[in-house]
Structure 1
């Protein structure tokens, strides 16, 4: 009898997808827009948090927690963040308002 836990390939793929996910960044005059492809994520939204100028995307699945983070531009207003997850497409869109650029 094996006591090795069994993981579905789809669940492992989801975590690999997040690790490898490319983040598209579009800069507009009033905001920064980031898009992340999280295909395969269903029945839950990824959690987005900001710590300092670090944006953190967290996905939780049963006993595993995976985080992907990246540095935000200097002019990002970290208190003005909106997110939208399109479950059918698996696309997470993060919009962050811009302020004055620090020199």
Structure 2
């Protein structure tokens, strides 16, 4: 059994967290709702294109970005310097929750 979350450092040195195996746009909407409920996050803005969605959420004092691209899937990240605690916590929660759903 593999991981559900894959971490990749971007060229601009931002850690991005890719959700493996759940790549569709419908899951993006479920994930957005989950983050809002689990982290008491407020939606700042959402941009929707033909093959993309991008949501900006306020989680505590950071801005979390959740993205969907039809050819890549769903992932999240933050450009805020103090975001590691929130992004790592979200990664752990999703890893645990989704691993149980995908592999049970």
TM-score bracket, shorter-length normalisation:
0.3 to 0.5
With normalisation by structure 2, the TM-score equals: 0.34
Q: Which has the larger radius of gyration?
A: 1
Greater share of helix: 2
With normalisation by structure 1, the TM-score equals: 0.35
